[in-house]
């Protein structure tokens, strides 16, 4: 037999005992000798290879099914797989934003629930990411969402405002954007200014191209669809930005190319929402409500400067840009980031026609950076709110927001809840405003 097969006896015994895999040539010899179908032995050999290589045998069935699809569809399978992952819509909280309360909403909403009553109209007057509004919408009859920034306004409309939109139509548009080849796209305003700085150059070309295309499509889109597409663009490029989370500066190292694959945002349409882009102090004089949630900036860092790139992208008026961080001329500077902050806060609370004031306060003060120093002191907030009514203060336990980074070591997150006493407030009005 050894002679007929031309296989060494020791090797043959190892093959028979499953200790060694035969080569194709040896297999063919064996099948001929035993009068077996070649194919059967090859299948045995291939399956042995797969079975021996599995690191998680308990997942073998699923793994083999996926492997089968991969072989069947090749590259197309990978595309298919990515498409399924990308089907999951992006939630409103998943944005990098300084001062976002995304991780604190549960704590804030539970306290509001416990400490207030008869709330019909809820106002989020410095809404930022609208993480708090998004919770309030589920609970209260009417929610007013306001922020001074253009991009935030578009984001609220995209995610939350009632309006007609066709998901299949938007998916088609996005699928086409995802098929674009950056090498075939011309330079544009976005790539010329931000390419190689805030975004890898080819990514910047795609962003500029897509932004212009959304503008070109505007006549064929409903207002809601237009806002969903812009918001989708912002939320997807947020993760690709060559920054530490804002656009005051970019990281000065070569940027690793990463694919721009748009995924639709989790757009909803609520009919209990009103959206404004107003200065909070002006809006305060136009609205009536039961509760106003107040979360202003507390240091000198202007949000319009930190998120200028999204302002430029949304307005798309292609302004002249200045400085290393390529910012446009300032618009919508906030008094809350200046020495006038305390006065602005007093005016705000005194002019709001509401039963409850809920104020978030935090100190991200870092002694090395003057710009991080709070413009309104904790005692000043407490003093002013006490003039408006009975005020309680709550402190959030560190575990809610501390990510373990040293910069958060001294971080305190407080919530003031004031039950407004109109008589007390009116009595203190003149004295407060004169101080």
Ligand X SMILES: C[S@@+](CC[C@H](N)C(=O)[O-])C[C@H]1O[C@@H](n2cnc3c(N)ncnc32)[C@H](O)[C@@H]1O
Contact string (CB under 6 A) for ligand X, positions 197-236, x = contact: ----------------------------------------
Reading across the β-sheet that carries 121-124, which strands appear in turn?
Answer: 273-276, 142-146, 121-124, 291-294, 356-363, 412-420, 389-395
How many residues sit close enough to ligand X to count as binding (CB under 6 A)? 23
List the one residue from 15, 119, 126, 387 that touches ligand X (CB under 6 A): 126
How many other CB atoms are found less than 10 A from the CB of residue 322?
11
Residue 131 found at the interface with ligand X (CB under 6 A)? yes
Cα–chain center distance at 249? 19
DSSP string, 262-318: ---B----BSSEEEE-S-HHHHTTT-B-SEEEE----SS--HHHHTHHHHHHHH---
Q: Binding segment for ligand X among 26-34, 66-74, 140-148, 224-232 (CB under 6 A)?
A: 140-148
Q: Which is nearer to ligand X, 158 or 296 (CB)?
A: 296
Task: Check if the beta carbon of residue 343 is closer than 8 Å to that of residue 435.
Answer: no
List the one residue from 290, 295, 311, 413 that touches ligand X (CB under 6 A): 295
Q: Which is nearer to ligand X, 279 or 382 (CB)?
A: 279
Q: Binding segment for ligand X among 143-151, 160-168, 177-185, 419-427 (CB under 6 A)?
A: 143-151
List the one residue from 90, 101, 236, 432 that touches ligand X (CB under 6 A): 101
Instruction: Name the residue with the smallest CB distance to ligand X.
Output: 128
Residues between 319 and 348 with contacts to ligand X, criterion CB under 6 A: 334, 336
Query: By C-alpha distance, which of 323, 389, 395, 380 is closest to 354?
Result: 389
List the one residue from 148, 173, 204, 273 that touches ligand X (CB under 6 A): 148
Query: By C-alpha distance, which of 353, 410, 354, 346 is closest to 382?
Result: 346
Q: What is the C-alpha separation between 375 and 377, in angstroms, rounded?
A: 7
Residue 376 found at the interface with ligand X (CB under 6 A)? no
Q: What is the C-alpha separation between 253 and 330, in angstroms, rounded?
A: 27
Residue 160 found at the interface with ligand X (CB under 6 A)? no
- DSSP β-ladder status, 121-124 and 273-276: unpaired
Q: Which is nearer to ligand X, 133 or 191 (CB)?
A: 133
Residue 99 found at the interface with ligand X (CB under 6 A)? yes
Site residues, ligand X (CB under 6 A)? 97, 99-101, 126-129, 131-132, 146-149, 152, 279-280, 295-297, 303, 334, 336
């Amino acid at each position: 037999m050894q002679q007929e097969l031309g296989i060494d006896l020791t090797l043959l015994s190892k093959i028979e005992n499953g200790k060694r895999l035969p080569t194709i040539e040896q297999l063919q010899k064996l099948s001929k000798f035993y009068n077996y179908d070649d194919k059967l032995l090859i299948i045995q050999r291939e399956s042995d290879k797969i079975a021996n290589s599995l690191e998680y045998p308990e997942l073998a069935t699923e793994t083999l099914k996926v492997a089968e699809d991969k072989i069947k569809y090749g590259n197309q399978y990978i595309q298919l797989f990515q498409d399924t992952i990308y089907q999951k819509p992006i939630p409103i909280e998943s944005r990098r934003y300084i001062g976002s309360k995304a991780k604190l909403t549960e704590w804030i909403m539970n306290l509001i629930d416990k400490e207030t009553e008869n709330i019909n109209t809820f106002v989020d007057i410095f809404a930022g990411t609208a993480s708090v509004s998004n919770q309030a919408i589920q609970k209260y009859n009417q929610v007013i969402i306001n922020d001074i920034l253009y991009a935030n306004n578009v984001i609220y409309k995209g995610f939350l405002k009632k309006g007609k939109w066709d998901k299949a139509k938007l998916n088609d548009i996005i699928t086409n954007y995802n098929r674009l080849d950056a090498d075939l796209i011309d330079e544009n305003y976005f790539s010329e200014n931000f390419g190689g700085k805030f975004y890898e150059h080819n990514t910047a070309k795609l962003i500029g191209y897509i932004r212009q295309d959304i503008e070109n499509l505007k006549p064929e889109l409903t207002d809601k669809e237009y806002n969903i597409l812009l918001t989708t663009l912002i939320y997807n490029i947020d993760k690709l930005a060559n920054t530490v989370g804002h656009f005051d500066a970019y990281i000065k190292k070569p940027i690793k190319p990463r694919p721009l694959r748009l995924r639709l945002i989790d757009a909803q349409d609520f009919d209990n929402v009103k959206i404004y882009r107003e200065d909070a102090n002006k809006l305060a004089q136009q609205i009536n409500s039961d509760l106003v949630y107040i979360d202003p900036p507390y240091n000198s860092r202007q949000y319009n400067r930190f998120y200028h790139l999204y302002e430029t992208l949304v307005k798309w008026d292609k302004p002249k840009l200045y400085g290393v961080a390529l910012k446009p001329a300032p618009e919508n500077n906030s008094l809350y980031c200046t020495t006038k902050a305390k006065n602005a806060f007093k005016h705000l609370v005194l002019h709001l026609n509401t039963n409850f004031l809920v104020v978030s306060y935090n100190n991200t003060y870092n002694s090395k950076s003057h710009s991080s120093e709070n413009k309104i002191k904790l005692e000043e907030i407490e003093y002013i709110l006490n003039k408006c009514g009975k005020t309680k203060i709550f402190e959030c336990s560190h575990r809610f927001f501390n990510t373990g980074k040293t910069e958060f070591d001294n971080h305190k997150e407080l919530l003031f809840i004031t039950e407004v006493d109109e008589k007390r407030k009116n009595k203190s009005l003149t004295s407060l405003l004169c101080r």
